Homo-oligomer: A and B are copies of this chain.
Amino acid sequence: MTIHLIATGGTIDKYYSPTQGKLTFEGSHLPEMLAQGSCEIELELEVLMQRDSLDLTDEESSLILATCTQSPHKHILITHGTDRMVDTAKALKALNLPKTIVLTGAMIPYTIRNSDALFNLGFALGVVQCLPTGVYVAMNGKIFNADKVIKNKVIGRFEAL
Protein backbone atom coordinates (compact mmCIF):
# COMPACT_ATOMS: atom_id res chain seq x y z
CA MET A 1 0.00 0.00 0.00
CA THR A 2 1.27 3.47 -0.92
CA ILE A 3 -0.54 6.43 0.59
CA HIS A 4 -0.95 9.52 -1.57
CA LEU A 5 -0.41 12.38 0.87
CA ILE A 6 -1.69 15.64 -0.62
CA ALA A 7 -0.84 18.91 1.16
CA THR A 8 -3.15 21.82 0.38
CA GLY A 9 -2.01 24.16 3.16
CA GLY A 10 -4.26 25.12 6.07
CA THR A 11 -3.36 25.97 9.63
CA ILE A 12 -1.35 22.75 10.02
CA ASP A 13 1.29 24.10 7.61
CA LYS A 14 1.42 27.74 8.67
CA TYR A 15 4.56 29.21 10.16
CA TYR A 16 5.38 32.53 11.80
CA SER A 17 7.45 34.86 9.67
CA PRO A 18 9.54 37.01 12.05
CA THR A 19 10.07 39.75 9.48
CA GLN A 20 6.44 39.86 8.31
CA GLY A 21 5.19 39.49 11.87
CA LYS A 22 2.41 37.13 10.92
CA LEU A 23 1.53 33.53 10.12
CA THR A 24 2.05 32.59 6.51
CA PHE A 25 3.23 29.71 4.32
CA GLU A 26 6.79 28.87 3.34
CA GLY A 27 6.32 25.34 2.02
CA SER A 28 4.90 22.27 3.70
CA HIS A 29 6.14 21.03 7.07
CA LEU A 30 4.84 17.52 6.33
CA PRO A 31 8.31 16.06 5.67
CA GLU A 32 9.44 17.39 9.06
CA MET A 33 6.33 16.00 10.79
CA LEU A 34 6.75 12.58 9.19
CA ALA A 35 10.40 12.53 10.23
CA GLN A 36 9.46 13.47 13.80
CA GLY A 37 6.98 10.57 13.82
CA SER A 38 9.71 8.25 12.47
CA CYS A 39 7.10 7.35 9.89
CA GLU A 40 8.17 4.50 7.63
CA ILE A 41 4.96 3.78 5.73
CA GLU A 42 5.29 4.18 1.95
CA LEU A 43 4.01 7.61 0.97
CA GLU A 44 3.87 9.76 -2.12
CA LEU A 45 3.87 13.32 -0.82
CA GLU A 46 2.46 15.95 -3.17
CA VAL A 47 2.47 19.57 -2.05
CA LEU A 48 -0.41 20.66 -4.28
CA MET A 49 -0.84 24.14 -2.86
CA GLN A 50 -0.34 26.09 0.36
CA ARG A 51 -3.58 27.92 0.99
CA ASP A 52 -5.71 29.04 3.88
CA SER A 53 -8.90 27.13 3.08
CA LEU A 54 -10.94 30.34 3.45
CA ASP A 55 -8.98 31.66 0.45
CA LEU A 56 -9.48 28.60 -1.78
CA THR A 57 -10.63 29.60 -5.27
CA ASP A 58 -13.00 27.46 -7.31
CA GLU A 59 -10.07 26.53 -9.51
CA GLU A 60 -8.07 25.37 -6.51
CA SER A 61 -10.97 23.33 -5.15
CA SER A 62 -11.37 21.73 -8.57
CA LEU A 63 -7.67 20.94 -8.63
CA ILE A 64 -7.96 19.05 -5.34
CA LEU A 65 -10.85 16.99 -6.72
CA ALA A 66 -9.03 16.32 -9.98
CA THR A 67 -5.88 15.27 -8.16
CA CYS A 68 -7.82 12.71 -6.13
CA THR A 69 -9.65 11.47 -9.21
CA GLN A 70 -6.46 11.01 -11.19
CA SER A 71 -4.40 9.62 -8.33
CA PRO A 72 -3.01 6.16 -9.08
CA HIS A 73 -3.36 5.34 -5.37
CA LYS A 74 -6.34 3.87 -3.54
CA HIS A 75 -5.47 5.48 -0.20
CA ILE A 76 -5.39 9.28 -0.13
CA LEU A 77 -4.72 11.55 2.83
CA ILE A 78 -5.32 15.28 2.38
CA THR A 79 -4.08 17.94 4.79
CA HIS A 80 -6.47 20.87 4.56
CA GLY A 81 -7.56 24.04 6.33
CA THR A 82 -10.26 23.27 8.88
CA ASP A 83 -12.69 26.02 7.85
CA ARG A 84 -13.54 24.45 4.50
CA MET A 85 -12.49 20.87 5.22
CA VAL A 86 -16.08 19.65 5.35
CA ASP A 87 -16.90 21.37 2.03
CA THR A 88 -14.02 19.64 0.27
CA ALA A 89 -14.93 16.34 1.91
CA LYS A 90 -18.51 16.60 0.63
CA ALA A 91 -17.39 17.51 -2.87
CA LEU A 92 -15.06 14.51 -2.88
CA LYS A 93 -17.83 12.25 -1.63
CA ALA A 94 -20.05 13.36 -4.50
CA LEU A 95 -17.41 12.04 -6.91
CA ASN A 96 -17.97 8.55 -5.54
CA LEU A 97 -14.39 7.47 -6.19
CA PRO A 98 -13.38 3.86 -5.46
CA LYS A 99 -10.80 5.09 -2.95
CA THR A 100 -10.33 5.65 0.75
CA ILE A 101 -9.91 9.40 1.19
CA VAL A 102 -9.22 10.96 4.59
CA LEU A 103 -8.97 14.68 5.34
CA THR A 104 -7.21 16.11 8.36
CA GLY A 105 -5.61 19.34 9.50
CA ALA A 106 -4.91 21.20 12.70
CA MET A 107 -6.31 23.94 14.88
CA ILE A 108 -2.80 25.05 15.87
CA PRO A 109 0.10 25.15 13.39
CA TYR A 110 2.76 22.45 13.71
CA THR A 111 5.33 25.19 14.30
CA ILE A 112 3.51 26.46 17.38
CA ARG A 113 4.03 24.89 20.78
CA ASN A 114 1.25 22.61 21.89
CA SER A 115 0.06 21.99 18.32
CA ASP A 116 -2.39 19.21 17.55
CA ALA A 117 -0.77 18.71 14.12
CA LEU A 118 1.36 15.67 14.91
CA PHE A 119 -1.45 13.89 16.74
CA ASN A 120 -3.89 14.54 13.90
CA LEU A 121 -1.46 13.52 11.17
CA GLY A 122 -0.67 10.27 12.99
CA PHE A 123 -4.35 9.63 13.61
CA ALA A 124 -5.29 10.21 9.97
CA LEU A 125 -2.42 8.04 8.72
CA GLY A 126 -3.78 5.27 10.91
CA VAL A 127 -7.36 5.45 9.69
CA VAL A 128 -6.51 5.89 6.00
CA GLN A 129 -4.74 2.52 6.13
CA CYS A 130 -7.71 0.72 7.68
CA LEU A 131 -10.97 2.21 6.45
CA PRO A 132 -12.98 0.92 3.50
CA THR A 133 -13.74 3.00 0.41
CA GLY A 134 -15.28 6.36 1.30
CA VAL A 135 -14.49 9.93 2.27
CA TYR A 136 -13.77 10.74 5.91
CA VAL A 137 -12.78 13.61 8.14
CA ALA A 138 -10.30 12.54 10.84
CA MET A 139 -10.12 15.18 13.56
CA ASN A 140 -10.25 15.28 17.38
CA GLY A 141 -9.42 11.59 17.56
CA LYS A 142 -12.70 10.83 15.80
CA ILE A 143 -13.61 9.51 12.38
CA PHE A 144 -16.49 11.30 10.64
CA ASN A 145 -18.28 10.43 7.43
CA ALA A 146 -17.93 13.31 4.96
CA ASP A 147 -21.64 14.02 4.91
CA LYS A 148 -22.20 13.77 8.66
CA VAL A 149 -19.85 16.32 10.15
CA ILE A 150 -19.64 20.02 10.86
CA LYS A 151 -16.96 22.23 12.34
CA ASN A 152 -18.17 23.96 15.46
CA LYS A 153 -16.28 27.23 15.02
CA VAL A 154 -17.11 28.54 18.47
CA ILE A 155 -15.24 25.79 20.28
CA GLY A 156 -12.97 24.74 17.42
CA ARG A 157 -14.08 21.12 17.33
CA PHE A 158 -15.57 18.82 14.69
CA GLU A 159 -18.92 17.27 15.58
CA ALA A 160 -21.08 14.54 14.12
CA LEU A 161 -24.35 15.65 12.55
Chain A: residues with CB nearer than 8 A to chain B?
11, 16, 18-19, 21-23, 33-34, 36-41, 83, 107-109, 111-116, 118-127, 129-131, 138-143, 153-157
When the two chains form their complex, are residues B21 and A11 in contact, meaning their CB atoms are under 8 A apart?
A: yes
Report copies per complex: 4
Q: Is the beta-carbon distance between A36 and B130 smaller than 8 angstroms?
A: no
| Min CB–CB distance A23 → chain B (angstroms) | 7
- Bound Cα distance from A138 to B127, whole angstroms: 12
A125 touching B123 by the CB < 8 A rule? yes
Of all chain B residues, the one with the shortest Cβ separation from A119 is B37
**A152 (CB) vs chain B CBs: closest residue:** B19
Decide: A119 near B122, CB < 8 A? Known: A19-B155, A143-B129: yes
